[in-house]
Structure 1
Amino acid sequence: MIEKHPLLRSLAIYREMPWRFALVAALFVSVNLGLVWQQWLIGHAVNDVSAGRAVLRHDDGSLDASLGWYWFGLMLAVAVLRGALQYAAGVLSLVLSQELLTRLRERILQQVQRLHLGYHWQHGMGEMITRTTRDADKVRDALISFWRQVVETPLVVLAAVGLLSWYDPLLGLVPLLLTAFGLWIFVLQTERLVSLDRAVGAAYDRVNQDLSEGIGGVRVIKSFALEHRRIRRFSEQVAVFAELARQALAYSSSRIPLPQAVVALGHVWVLVYGAHQVAAGRLGIGELVTSLLIATTLVFRIEGIGRVMQTFADARSSAERIWQLLDEPTAIRSGSARLPETPVGLKLEQVSVSAPGGGRDILHDCSLTLQPGEVVALVGATGTGKSLLASLLPRLGDVSSGRLLLGNDHSGWQDIRQLDLAELRRRVHVVPQESFLFSDTLAANLRLGAPDASDEQLREGLRLAAAEDVLERLPQGLATPLGDRGVTLSGGQRQRLSLARALLGTPDILCLDDATSALDAQTERRVLDNIRRLRGDQARPISVLLISSRLSTLLLADRVLLLDGGRICASGTHSELLEHNPHYRDLLGIDHG
């Protein structure tokens, strides 16, 4: 049952903190039982007052108000105790709900990190942000209201109806039936509220996506003078969101008063029927006062449900979206095998990979071999799947068919799907063309690949990536904040820092996916020469796959592979391919003449 109800699944996280959950529930139970007791005491006090027992006049003319003071002190003590318990219950429920929200957001982030790239390509950043922020907040709001509506309201209804029925069965039966009818109307309205909030949530996704693209693509927007167009588009998205939110609010505002009015009729019944019973001598004034207080409490509590129904409806659709993300199957699962501490090469055996979401194969029966320590360049036309092939190496995506193997001829080759993911990604690094730097210090960014690296080792990594000048220009050296995505740096500087970060991780296989495209030929040669020397100095030489169409890069490779039609169609040195392969010459724009 819980699997089909996402909000209940969210509430089930409370099972991970049973003692705190039990304590908060016990506090809320005590508060509400105390309320009924307090109202019962008021009825008895009124009876004593109306009977003249609260204050007695003695024969000598003095007044004895001990019973009156007794009732006053007792009710004051109960009120103070209830207030203290209610404060503690409210604070602890907030703390507990915040803890649940934290755990929920942690699971969302963990799931987002686990999901394969195909999922991220199909779902925008705005959708992920919405799940973690707006949707999670709405679930949290419902969880805060949960205590009052799920713990308090049933207790108040049961206690109120029970006490009324104790005074007179008919006095309690009618309010019970009216309350049940009002709640039934609330439930009928919930489905419409949920569907409205789904539409609001989808519109909010689009607003978030547009906002993230507007911020992330600010350079492109400014370059093409698109500011007014983007602002107008964003305003249109916000207007759609606001209109859908207005419709949801209008529906709840116009429909919720009806069940509230139905429940309020119970108060009228208690007043009319109770007065009749008092007149007939079957009910005392104190019992009537208590009955009216209880009926008032019941009406206000059910009216509170009306205000919270919108919160629960919102939270239900938000919980649906969260659990859709959390239930998404993890396509890439870690194996348990480990690579031997020997030089590592790479083999693709008839590998095929389909486009995200299905469709034709981008790579088809693709085979290649990269021997340990070899520097191989991969060249191909735009859209032939070079970057897709690079993403397969650390298993950011998986092959549709065929095998991708790591190892060497001496120790044997292992299927990448059998390897431990953490070790695989420690020993295989891919540096993409689009360098990503976090909004942290230079040192923190460099230590992502080597958490324990000393400052000297960081400087050595920068030297290998020909990035010493970047460090010299930064005002605070390694402690300099780089800004959002390294916005304070040029494209070439970001690429060299990304290279330094990868080299500090001392990978066995290093794939540079156009990662030197922003470097001049001299700097690029210096970087690759440093990598060649580095692989000669280490016990395990680095195997390098260069994905590039730059002639200066291809000249630095031991061998060049030509990717065309999803397959490796040619292999050889640059000179050999230049001499014998017309497609290779056309790709580089070289006239063999």
Structure 2
Amino acid sequence: MATTKSFLAASPLLRLLAIYREMPFRFTVTALLYALVNGSMAWQQWLIGHAVDEVRNGQVVVRTAEGGLDFDRAWFWLAALIGLAGARAVVQYGAGVLALIIGQELLTIIRERILAQVQRLDLTYHWRHGIGELITRTTRDSDKVRDALVGFWRQVVETGMALTASLAILFWYGPTLGIVPLLAMLTGLTILLHQTDRLVALDRVVGEAYDAVNQDLSEGINGVRVVKAFGLEATRIDRFQTQVTRFTDAARDALAYATRNIPVPQTIVALSHVWVLGYGALLVGADQLTVGALVAALLAANTLVLRVESIGTIIQTFADARASAARIWELLDEEPAIRSGERLLASGPLGLRLERVRLAAPGGGRDILTDLSFRAAPGEIVAIVGNTGSGKSALLSLLPRLADIDGGSILVGTDARGWTDIRALDTGSLRHKVHVVPQESFLFSDSLAANLRFARPEATDDELRHALALAAGDEILDHLPDGFDTKLGDRGVTLSGGQRQRLCLARALLSGAAILALDDATSALDAATERRVLENIKGLRDRGSPVTLLIVSSKLSTILMADRVLLLAGGRIAASGTHDELSKDSAAYRDLMGI
């Protein structure tokens, strides 16, 4: 069993084919139908040879005693051959339909696993690999695998059975007649398989070039405003053309190698025709083989040659698919750096405690956060300030475990109900209660209601209105032509920056988060609107559902709304207090705020 697992692990394409185990009944039925089709092909060729012998011996059409012609035997052979061909066609059609169905089902399973894995992996994986690489795996690589999986039955199963049946009938008529075609076929297959590793390596280069094309295309589309703002259209086009040229050159190299090398083994196998015709004619002349048997042997040799000639295409298809399958398994085998705990967070207000937290910089170097400790009471509004690059955004990303700490601990809870390390919590439960709103407002190209209900699908329209009111976004709804059903366009392109930020705030508040971290998420709001939003959140304390609020901001109007201000410097909390206290006691704070 261990040997089987290690063999599958070393063969990426076989690992994907092994998913057929999830549909054993349909797999078995399809295999049996293909076995029946190709087994009957040898029988059909034998019958044709037998019919030729009867024709040559004058047994098919005979003259009666009355001087007429008896066609009974001719009609028998006609009915038998047509009936067998028709039956084979029906069975082959059924086998082909079943093969297509289970091949497409297998492809669906693979794509679902890719999507689930993309959603499961932590942000650090996405930062390392980029959107272009992930798009390639779900499009080009999946399509390559689809070509191999959907064609698995016809190109591998049916071809293998057809070759077996053809060799069987040749050996039936004489071992010497079949041994040369067998050796030619084995020689050709050996050469083809020897070329596979090179084809896989070439296709991997093509795949990497395709990654770069996708990455450049996605950046060009997503960053179109920046491109136009700086008049860089021509530069981006040239850059994209360079990536496309690299991809084209890599694809041309792979195609040239296949075109140059694959015909050689095909030519070797084609010599089987010459052997069967020449040696078979000698056997006929020596009365060791009938003419009908020679015809049947030639039909078998023809099937053998045609099938082996198609193996060149099969090898190339499967070499491409093997490279793509390896890239898919690299994604599917990746383990998230962040493992979910099992405990669930109880409902109610939550406070926050950070104790000697350390966060290392990716790839080594100086720590981003070192020995950082502070505490936020339930319902408290805490502003976090610091120089650019001091680690404010990194700090907020630790709270819902979008990234993980390298030392210390982060706890949520209250003194009355106790405190829990976030690493012991189920990540879904944690992120439902601890939410970060980034400065970049992301909205899906869907309706307003769908974007808000992304946080809580069961929310009613009244609850959507309440969340919009808390985020000072109720007037946005009044200006939309179709209300909640209005389509917002790609990334909310139909809205202003401030409107998008308020909708993202409303979505976060609708989720029922007990701890809300705003990473400069009110930067596009004017002072009056921002004050209204923060006053609304403060007001939740009086209604018995306080939200602990952490705000990263450099705006004085925002900081003045906070109960406490934390100055982040050198990877730790350098000073803590109200704005007035820090303005009086901290020179670093005064320099930062320009006081």
2:378 counterpart residue number: 372
- What is the deviation of 1:317? 0.7
**How far has the Cα of 1:196 moved from its partner?**
0.5
Is 1:430 the counterpart of 2:426? The answer is no
Residue 593 of structure 2: which of 583, 588, 591 is its match?
588
**Distance change >3 Å, CA 503–CA 342, structure 1 → 2:** closer
Corresponding residue of 1:70: 76
Matching residue within 32, 45, 48 for 1:42: 48
Q: 1:568 aligns with which of 563, 568, 573?
A: 573
- State the 1:339 CA deviation: 2.2
Q: Answer yes or no: is the 8 Å Cα contact 1:349–1:367 preserved in 2.
A: yes
Q: Distance in 2 between matches of 1:367 and 1:569?
A: 10
| Residue type at the aligned position of 1:581 | S
Q: CA deviation at 1:535?
A: 3.3
For 2:302, give the aligned amino acid. Answer: T
Q: How do 1:430-579 and structure 2 match up within 5 A?
A: 430-538=436-544, 540-579=545-584
CA shift in 2, pair 1:535/1:49, >3 Å: farther
- Report the Cα distance in structure 2 between the residues aligned to 1:220 and 1:263, rounded to whole angstroms: 59
- The residue correspondences of 1:195-344 to structure 2 (distance < 5 A) are 195-344=201-350
The structural deviation recorded for 1:153 is 2.2
Whole-Å separation in 1 of the counterparts to 2:180 and 2:140: 41
Render the CA deviation track for 1:313-356: whole Å, top value 9, x for unaligned.
Answer: 11111111111111111211211112233421111111111223
User: Is 1:359 matched with 2:352?
Assistant: no
Q: Is the 8 A contact 2:383 2:566 kept in 1?
A: yes
CA RMSD of aligned residues (A): 1.1
Q: Deviations over 1:429-452 (max 9, x none)?
A: 111100111111000000011111
TM-score between the two structures when normalised by the length of structure 2 = 0.97
SS in 1 for 2:442: coil
| Residue of 96, 110, 121 corresponding to 1:90 | 96
Following superposition, the deviation at residue 145 of structure 1 comes to 2.1
1:423, distance to aligned residue in structure 2 (A): 1.0
2:163–2:303 CA contact under 8 A, matched in 1:
no
What secondary structure is seen at the aligned counterpart in 2 of 1:361? coil
Contact 1:352 1:400 in 2 (8 A): yes
Deviation, 1:357, is 3.5
Supply the AA of the counterpart residue of 2:392: K
The residue type paired with residue 583 of structure 1 is: A
Task: String of CA shifts for 1:178-233, please: whole Å, max 9, x gaps.
Answer: 10010000001111111110110000000000000000000000100110100111
Provide the C-alpha distance between the structure 1 equivalents of 2:32 and 2:388, rounded to a whole number of angstroms. 65
Range 386-395 or range 186-195, more displaced: 386-395
User: 2-side partners of 1:399 and 1:147: how far apart?
Assistant: 50
1:495-523 Cα offsets, whole Å, 9 max, x none, are: 00000101111111011111100000100
The 2-side partners of 1:23 and 1:525 are apart by 69
Whole-Å separation in 1 of the counterparts to 2:23 and 2:540: 52
Q: Secondary structure at the match of 1:378?
A: strand
Shift of 1:526: 0.2
Which amino acid is 2:285 matched to?
A
Q: Distance in 1 between matches of 2:572 and 2:216?
A: 37
CA drift of 1:42 comes to 0.9
The 1-side partners of 2:310 and 2:396 are apart by 57
What is the rounded CA distance, in whole Å, between the counterparts of 2:220 and 2:551 in structure 1?
33
8 Å contact kept, 1:354–1:361: yes
Report deviation, 1:549.
1.2
Judge conservation of contact 1:121–1:356 (CA < 8 Å) in 2: no
* Letter matched to residue 556 of structure 2: L
Find the partner of 2:404 among 382, 398, 404.
Answer: 398
| Aligned counterpart, 1:118 | 124
3-state DSSP of counterpart to 1:398: coil
Matched residues in 1 for 2:165 and 2:468: separation? 72
**Amino acid paired to 1:46:** V
Asked if 1:164 corresponds to 2:174, the answer is no
* Unaligned segments of structure 1, at least 5 residues: none
Contact 2:348 2:514 in 1 (8 A): no
Q: Partners of 1:377 and 1:43 in 2: how far apart?
A: 92
Among 347, 356, 364, the residue aligned to 1:350: 356
Q: Structure 2, unaligned stretches of length 5 or more? A: 1-6
Provide the C-alpha distance between the structure 1 equivalents of 2:441 and 2:413, rounded to a whole number of angstroms: 28
Task: List structure 1 runs of 4+ shifted beyond 3 angstroms.
Answer: none
Alpha-carbon distance, 1:48 to partner: 1.1
